[in-house]
Structure 1
């Protein structure tokens, strides 16, 4: 097949398979492809043969994970199996989906460790990295990452949230420097000037030296987005591994659309308003804090979790029972409950968290896991006992624990709710979970009225 014929149409079968390093971020890629008319499914657990057969028509397959909060040792134990299962779908690109704010450190959520494992799994000549995603207001310029908050765009090491993240604070905006602390693999950069001047292929050729380098691609606007997508797609060879944000999906879609390889995107059916939803938040982001405050002012019953109580094994069950009971009472009167463990980085529960963990005899990682377990147990009991059919989960690090406790096999996009946070439909073996509508939201995603949007739907 000639190079021209090879790129004149999209190949049959899956186009991309990806592992998401957290549950909320995993829905990003699904949203980007679904809205472009590329059928996508996100599995929340390793799919059985039956579930694979049920979604055999999908062009993109995702597997949601929790590696963003895990150690390199955990990754070495679990990621090779996940990568192998995804590689078996035969997609030309295998992605390790990372957050568009590059949440990572050498000890927690190491993107470098994931790259080393992924490159070993796919015999490609290079490993592209696309982090910028203009739709999510994330921009990479000359290798430095920027993210918007409100009306202001911040360099990531000066971002009000990411520079103070409780687990992986960002102290370096130059992604090559940040990544160098996590892997010894060579990292190169094709910057926005080279892309805009048509020098991408030439710079890529110069970067290749047999050691499968990471090659970062600047993205600041729609032009560089499409050019990055073109460079990746036309140089995919017999297969590529890429550690990228959902910017990679947006970039591929931009190129495919520009090249006339995509049909008109489908129109998603509107989702109607419901009487009430159940929402839960483990996010420490000020964006989510503003959303919780907005919800409290507009009819939601906001229920603060006593973090100290759930850190103690003696009072864990009592606190979960208290929250579930309060949520049940709220829903009986037609009010939406919103359970939250913190309200922004200055919340007393956040500032005192290390002391609370120490008093409970827990390491910080154990304490974070315990809070996630409490949020998960609370949501599971609310769903099981109230018959609620639409829920919202906020917080990347806690979403895996909560969504993972619901026995959902897979998600597909139901509607375009907010950039990076679609409303999804659950597919499960049980009637309680099958058809449940789920909105998974990262800490930085959404406008102040996000929870109200989940309640009202898109109809």
Structure 2
């Protein structure tokens, strides 16, 4: 019998939606992967990869660094041979951080050297060329991301963005080098490092570029980026003898029935479109944030709405608002106060829906919202299913005190997913899925779903 290797990979995610996406990609590859929330949950033995989900994207940089380093120490104690720092595909950050400060702190903790920054998600057209990030044909700084309520991205030049929040020197691994393959990338890493550049942004246009970058960096102590580059590490582990094919496992999710709901805190155009599509056939309550600031009991309103419609139909509750409304609220109350208010309300509503009204199928849209909801529900461990495509990373979670009533859960980035994602996913949660390891093909095929009429336990 082949011995199971120790923890090959330990990841730290700066928000929950991206972290669950990363874990689901590894699961789709056949890698036994653990996923815990925060810094208190134990890291269980027996997995080849583990992802710690944090909520550090928009907190003070010093607090983010402290949490990230603590997470890294826990992963290293568990035997992780490589640390991966996961952030958004649109490099969500400000001149104060938190990508640069966290990456530099991790690099120092791991003994120095060099690391790469690969945020591209080629599947969705988020690419980097000449150091500039694009969403399709549109530069990041000209896209709707420039209106992000927490991390407005107004500069498309990622080398410049990263340099503004970093102490070390930032460089670029240009496309001609990346296109030449893994060995050329390794040579470039050595050359940049010799010249004092230790933080290297990578141009990335196609999926094969991610393959080359993963092959070039599988043995770096620290790698950073979006989930998409990490998804290509397992084949490199297999090639270099760190992993055996017998270590790969089939991914599965149980069928879970019960009342179903969507909670949306994202103000992304894609989320607004998805809510509009969902509302064509299902009840939607949009909470008026201005009324909430004026003292209205919007949580009681949401409770009454849910009680009217559950369990007979799927529902959605959202704090989304037009850009002009969001900007007016931010001017009146402050950017952080508006975000905190929306998160607080949705977290309280999640507690009512799940722990009082029995919702057992839940989709949450928005990274910051997801963190607040999961915390409100007391969830510290998430069992991931296999990645099914952008925005599609389903999971189950056990609720404190309710071990026999698992929650079917999906935490979704506000910017991802097709127009019908909410209704489709809530329906899919009622069917069990089994997925063979996608070690030789990426992106993976759609999972096979088995119909069921029984309640999962």
TM over 0.5: yes
Cα displacement (A) at 1:192: 2.4
Indicate yes or no: 2:160 matched with 1:181: no
Structure 1: distance between partners of 2:323 and 2:222: 39
Residues 11, 104 of structure 1: CA spacing in aligned structure 2 closer, same or farther, 3 A cutoff? farther
Structure 2: distance between partners of 1:356 and 1:158: 26
SS in 1 for 2:231: helix
Quote the residue 1:436 is aligned against.
407
Paired residues of 1:142 and 1:192 also in contact (CA < 8 A): yes
Quote the residue 2:340 is aligned against.
369
Cα displacement (A) at 1:58: 1.4
Paired residues of 1:408 and 1:433 also in contact (CA < 8 A): no
Quote the residue 1:342 is aligned against.
320
Quote the residue 1:207 is aligned against.
192
Structure 1: distance between partners of 2:3 and 2:171: 28
Which of 248, 266, 286 matches 1:283?
Answer: 266
Q: Pairwise mapping of residues 93-242 of structure 1 onto structure 2 (< 5 A)?
A: 93-107=82-96, 109-148=97-136, 153-159=137-143, 161-198=144-181, 199-209=184-194, 213-234=198-219, 236=220, 240-242=221-223
Cα displacement (A) at 1:330: 0.9
Paired residues of 2:39 and 2:70 also in contact (CA < 8 A): no
Question: In terms of mean alpha carbon deviation, does 56-65 or 128-137 score higher?
Answer: 128-137
Structure 1: distance between partners of 2:323 and 2:344: 20
SS in 2 for 1:123: coil
Structure 2: distance between partners of 1:352 and 1:284: 14
Quote the residue 2:440 is aligned against.
none
SS in 1 for 2:267: coil
Paired residues of 2:27 and 2:385 also in contact (CA < 8 A): no
Gaps of 5+ in 1: 1-8, 358-362
Gaps of 5+ in 2: 432-448, 450-457
Paired residues of 1:124 and 1:241 also in contact (CA < 8 A): no
Quote the residue 1:6 is aligned against.
none
SS in 2 for 1:187: strand
Which of 241, 244, 255 matches 2:225?
Answer: 244
Quote the residue 1:352 is aligned against.
328
SS in 1 for 2:310: helix
Quote the residue 1:37 is aligned against.
30
TM-score (norm 2): 0.86
Paired residues of 1:19 and 1:82 also in contact (CA < 8 A): yes
Paired residues of 1:271 and 1:415 also in contact (CA < 8 A): no
Indicate yes or no: 2:48 matched with 1:80: no
Q: Pairwise mapping of residues 376-455 of structure 1 onto structure 2 (< 5 A)?
A: 376-431=347-402, 435-455=406-426
Quote the residue 1:360 is aligned against.
none
Structure 1: distance between partners of 2:332 and 2:224: 35
SS in 2 for 1:101: coil
Paired residues of 1:406 and 1:433 also in contact (CA < 8 A): no
Corresponding pairs, count: 425
Paired residues of 2:178 and 2:212 also in contact (CA < 8 A): yes
Paired residues of 1:80 and 1:117 also in contact (CA < 8 A): yes
SS in 1 for 2:370: helix
Quote the residue 1:3 is aligned against.
none
Structure 2: distance between partners of 1:259 and 1:140: 28
SS in 1 for 2:194: coil
Residues 212, 433 of structure 1: CA spacing in aligned structure 2 closer, same or farther, 3 A cutoff? farther
SS in 1 for 2:382: strand
Structure 2: distance between partners of 1:305 and 1:24: 22
